[in-house]
Amino acid sequence: MCIDHNALFASIFYVTINGQVMKRIGICTVSSLKISWNSSVIYIIVHKRGSLHKGTMPDLWQDAMDHAVTLARKAGEIVKDALQNDLKIMCKSSSVDLVTKTDQNVEQLIITSVKEKFPEHSFIGEESVAAGEPCVLTENPTWIVDPVDGTTNFVHGYPFVAISIGFAVNKMLEFGVVYSCIEDKMYTARKEKGAFCNGQPLQVSDQKEINQSIIATEFGSNRDPDAVDKIFSSMRKILCLPVHGIRGVGSAAINMCLVASGCVEAYYEIGIHCWDVAAAAVIVSEAGGVLMDVEGGPMDLMSRRVLAANNNIIGERIVKEIEAFSAVRDDAPVILIK
C-alpha cells in the first residue's frame, strides 16, 4: 500500500528503509511519494494544499541537541560528585590508558537516555567500543560520545575534564556539545548556526603570524619509542619556528574548544579517537576555524588524526613541521586471534 493523494502536501525530513537512512526530502506533493508501509517513515507532516507557510517546518535535530545539553549537565554532576570520593581505576590498552567506573556509568546514563528518547538512533561510545562494540559510522543519526574526556586528568584531580557529545547524520557532523564540567563551561554548536560558550558567541583568533601564535598538542597514551620521538621532534620544530608557546590541558575536546574561543591558534594530535573530537570539530568549524589532517587535506573523523586551526595559513604552516606516524583507524576491522 502506498501514500497517494493529490490534495495534500507532505514534509518528510528523513526516511529509513530497511534500516538505512535515505536522503532528506523537502516539501512535495504527496502524490509524488511512493512509500510502502513496510518502510519506517520518521517525521511525516501532511498539510492541506496551500496551508504550508514558510518557516513552519520544525527543526528536526534541535530536540536532540537540547537533550544532549541536558545529558552533559547531568553527566557533569556525576563527574564532580565522583571527584569527592575514592575512584576505582582500571586500565584498557596499557597502564597509561585509564578508565574509571565513572566513565562507564556516565556512558551508560547517556546510552540509556538516548535509546529511550530516540530509539532509531545509533551510538558510538568510548567505553562501548572498549567493551567490544563496533566503531562504525553509518548514515543513520549517530551519537558519538566520550563520557569523560580527560580521564587521566580526572584520576589526578587535574581540573580539565569534559563530557563530549557529537551527533552525525549521513556521516556528516550536525552538532556538538562539550561540557568542561569543572570550569562549568558549556560549549555548543550546530551546523550553520554558530558556536557558543555558556550562550556567548565564539570566534577563532584572527592571528595569521605563526610567530605570534600559541599551539596546543598532547602526548597521548602511545608509549612506542618511535612515536614518542616523532612527537618530541614535531614539538621541537614547531617551538623553534618560533611560536609564543606550546600548551595542552589533557583533553582533546577542551583543547579544540580553546581554538574555537580564540585562546590558542591551533591544536594537533595523532592517536585521538572519533569520540574525542567529533563534538569539538563542529564547535571549531562554527567558530570560523578549519579542520584538517596532520599531513594536509580534509580531516577524516575515523583516522585518529586531527589539526584544528584558526585559519588555513596557521594550519598549513603547522602541517609542514609535523612528523606523522601511523595509528590504527577507529573503523578498522577487528581481527580476532584464536
Q: Which CATH homologous superfamily contains domain 62-200?
A: Fructose-1,6-Bisphosphatase, subunit A, domain 1 (3.30.540.10)
Distance of CA 147 to the CA centre of its chain: 12
Are 166 and 286 in contact, with CB atoms under 8 Å apart?
no
Instruction: Say which DSSP state 36 is in.
Output: B
Cell of 134: 563496533
Residue 62's SS3 state is helix
Strands 214-217 and 245-247: parallel
Q: What is the pLDDT of residue 8?
A: 38
Instruction: Show the DSSP H helices in 179-273 as ranges.
Output: 225-239, 252-261
Q: Which long-range contacts (CB under 8 A, 24 or more apart) does 56-62 make?
A: 57/11, 57/13, 57/27, 58/13, 60/13, 60/14, 61/141, 61/167, 61/169, 61/174, 61/175, 61/190, 62/190
Determine whether the annotation assigns residue 126 to a binding site.
Answer: yes
Determine the 3-state secondary structure of 171 from DSSP. Answer: coil
Residue type for 92, please? K
Q: Are 54 and 18 in contact (CB under 8 A)?
A: no
The annotation status of 276 as a binding-site residue, yes or no, is yes
pLDDT for 91? 73
pLDDT attached to residue 241: 98
CATH number of 210-319: 3.40.190.80
The mean pLDDT values, 10 residues at a time, for the chain of 338 residues are: 38 44 42 41 40 52 98 97 80 67 94 97 94 94 97 93 98 99 98 98 99 98 95 98 98 99 99 98 99 98 98 99 96 70
- Given phi > 0 = left and psi -120 to 50 = alpha, else beta, which region is 304? left
Residue 128's pLDDT is 93
Helix (H, G, I), strand (E, B) or coil at 338: coil
Q: How far apart are CA 259 and CA 338, in angstroms?
A: 45
- pLDDT for position 90: 74
> Residue 205 phi/psi, 5° resolution?
-60, 150
On the 0-12 / 13-18 / 19+ scale of CB atoms within 10 A, 154 is: buried
162, β-bridge pairs: 149, 180
Please name every residue paired with 27 in a beta bridge, in sequence order, or none if there are none: 11
Q: Return the domain boundaries, the chain.
A: 8-48, 62-200, 210-319
Cell of 151: 580521564
